[in-house]
Amino acid sequence: MAAASDLSGLGPKADRAFGLKLVAPAMILLIALLAVPTVLTVVYSLHDVPANGASFGPFVGIENYTIIFASPVFWRSAQVTATFAIGFVVLSTVIGLAMALLLNQRFIGRGLARALLIIPWATPWLVIGILWKWFADGSVGGLNAVLMMLGLISDYQPFLSDPNTALPITVLAAVWRQASFAGILLLAGLQTLPEELHEAAGLDGANVWQRFTNITLPWLKPVLITVTVFNVIYAFLQFDVVFAMTQGGPGDTTQVLSVLIYRQLFVNTNIGLGSALAVILGVVALVGGLAIVRLFYRREVQ
């Protein structure tokens, strides 16, 4: 650093000032687009905000949080969100990893297959939801046709109206997109893995599973952490797919917290309550993401 300062002919203070100027535009944008809304949401959550937004309204302290935590609607929604998140994170990561491993092999049409992997990721969440709503339709859906051809069902099933299948189907729809994202990142990670490592392990007598667990997975660890953290965040913030497919129904079967927040903020215009819910969900997503990072790195330290 000192050498660099000497070379530039400026002191450390001047370097810091120069650096600050470089990051200032990004900092201003981040503050305007992230920090201000975040602070405002927290402030709203402590007020009974009028729907028209003319003022913050009366300060109510933690009353909005008390109402939320005392409501069975919230706890049911939290349970649905947790179930959705677990399914989403596990399946997105595992299927993404499987796709990456497959597409890292040499086979005819690999280039096309890799290009196809991008299509779900390039499709907006809302469009995915609408596509899957029709795909899973109980009368004309392709999913039913496929399952019937495979002999897994004998009659068309109303998957989205059945409380036992609605949530799994919404998870599948969301995973369909997110797994491709995970696959793209993990494939990029795999391509940096030197082939010599596998060859050497093979010469030492390691089988496929041993090479996968002792070479591939450790190599992919930084990417896996990134992918998993992204998946956790996307899982908790998932809205579009669920809303397009079921609008939270049937009943409250798929009413994840983001749907509840949408209803409170934008339909009922209970800005204070909706903001408090958003703060809770934000904290949960943050803690979830941090927990994943901590979990992975703790193992690494051990």
Question: Could you say whether residue 44 binds other proteins (CB under 8 A)?
Answer: no
Q: Provide the minimum distance between the beta carbon of 73 and other proteins in the complex, in angstroms, as a whole number.
A: 4
Q: Provide the minimum distance between the beta carbon of 44 and other proteins in the complex, in angstroms, as a whole number.
A: 12
Question: Could you say whether residue 282 binds other proteins (CB under 8 A)?
Answer: no
Using the minimum distance from each CB to other proteins, give the nearer residue, 80 or 89: 80
Question: Could you say whether residue 154 binds other proteins (CB under 8 A)?
Answer: no
Question: Could you say whether residue 45 binds other proteins (CB under 8 A)?
Answer: no
- Burial class of residue 159, CB neighbours in 10 A (0-12, 13-18, 19+): buried
Could you report how far apart the first and last alpha carbons of the chain are, in Å?
A: 33
* CB-based contact 17:23 (threshold 8 Å): no
The span from the CA of 173 to the CA of 117, in Å, is: 15
Question: Could you say whether residue 1 binds other proteins (CB under 8 A)?
Answer: no
Angle at 160 between CA 150 and CA 288, to 5 degrees: 100
Residue from the set 19, 142, 194, 251 that interacts with other proteins by CB under 8 A:
251
- DSSP secondary structure string, 230-298? HHHHHHHH--HHHHHHTTT-STTTT--HHHHHHIIIIIS--HHHHHHHHHHHHHHHHHHHHHHHHHHHH
Binders in 46-65 for other proteins, by CB under 8 A: 48, 50-54, 64
* CB-based contact 140:160 (threshold 8 Å): no
Residue from the set 272, 288, 289, 292 that interacts with other proteins by CB under 8 A:
272
Question: Could you say whether residue 139 binds other proteins (CB under 8 A)?
Answer: yes
Binders in 175-234 for other proteins, by CB under 8 A: none
Q: Provide the minimum distance between the beta carbon of 30 and other proteins in the complex, in angstroms, as a whole number.
A: 22
**Residues touching other proteins, count (CB under 8 A):** 44
Token couple for 276: 């408090």
Binding stretches for other proteins (CB under 8 A): 48, 50-54, 64, 67-68, 71, 73-74, 133, 137-140, 158, 160-163, 166, 245-252, 255, 260, 262-270, 272-273
